[in-house]
Amino acid sequence: MLSEAEWAVIALSLRVSLVAMLVTLPLAYALAYLLVRRRFPGRVLLDAAVHLPLVLPPVVTGWLLLIVFGRNGAVGGWLYETFGVALVFHWSGAALAAAVMALPLMVRAMRLSIEAVDRRLVGAARTLGATRWQAFCTVTLPLTVPGIAAGAMLGFARSLGEFGATITFAANIEGQTRTLPLAIYSGLQVPGNEDAVARLAVMSIILSMGALVLSEWLVRRAQGKDAHVL
């Protein structure tokens, strides 16, 4: 079936996507909560900035990441000088690119579930003795678990497919940043690789479908069979 190198590509893809999803999860939830429950100056701008990767050409997102996180970038330069960490050409850079691209989808899924929580329940919890934080932990958070799960799966699936920002920012390095889509792209550049490309493409479809079906199933199980994330 798959060669060792192909399994390595899949393992790298899963690792990059999993890390991207886990790192983005708390940030996406905090942003979703902020956008739903708080009114502050610049909220519309923040909302737009979060959604930017959804509408921007991925190559532009990758270029922006280079500017900020590249070795000469504001954050990237500091990371390199302080910790000796370089995200460019490294699998963590691919995870960062995937995380930025997945963020808007994750925020959207979580936002819907936070909007669905009746604020009056939070008020009830407060009168029963819960502080703001306790009310969040015992009411809002448990009621939004399906949204968190759906957002996580959606972000994971999106990360698996990430191509443009990754190749622009983290480049196409075998064993480091050559995830499934990049490996398929590389395979297509050389004649005679049709079989390998087909195998990787099928794996890509299976993994993505699995993540999507799982997220739908999670939401339906928790919120009834008419609920959906897609």
Partner 1 sequence: MTHRIDIDITLAPGGREIACRIASDAKLTALVGPSGAGKTSVLNAVAGLATPLAGHIRVAGTTLFDAAAGVNLPPERRRTGYVFQDTRLFPHHRVAANLAYGTRFAAPEDRWIGQDEVVALLEIGDLLARWPANLSGGEARRVAIGRALLSAPRFLLLDEPFAALDPLRAEALTGLIERIRDELDIPILLVSHSAAEVARLAGQVVELHPHTALA
Binding site for partner 1 (CB under 8 A): 118, 120-121, 123-132, 134, 138-139, 142-143
> In whole angstroms, how close is the CB of 34 to partner 1 at the nearest point?
21
SS3 58: helix
> In whole angstroms, how close is the CB of 226 to partner 1 at the nearest point?
15
Rounded CA-CA distance 35/37 in Å is: 6
> In whole angstroms, how close is the CB of 224 to partner 1 at the nearest point?
11
Comparing C-alpha atoms, which of 41, 58, 39, 47 is closest to residue 102? 58
Looking at beta carbons only, is 132 or 228 nearer to partner 1?
Answer: 132
Contacts 24+ apart (CB under 8 A), 85-88: 87/169, 87/170, 88/169, 88/170, 88/171
Looking at beta carbons only, is 138 or 208 nearer to partner 1?
Answer: 138
> In whole angstroms, how close is the CB of 125 to partner 1 at the nearest point?
7
Comparing C-alpha atoms, which of 154, 156, 126, 128 is closest to residue 215? 154
Comparing C-alpha atoms, which of 33, 32, 162, 164 is closest to residue 106? 32
Looking at beta carbons only, is 140 or 179 nearer to partner 1?
Answer: 140
Looking at beta carbons only, is 121 or 201 nearer to partner 1?
Answer: 121
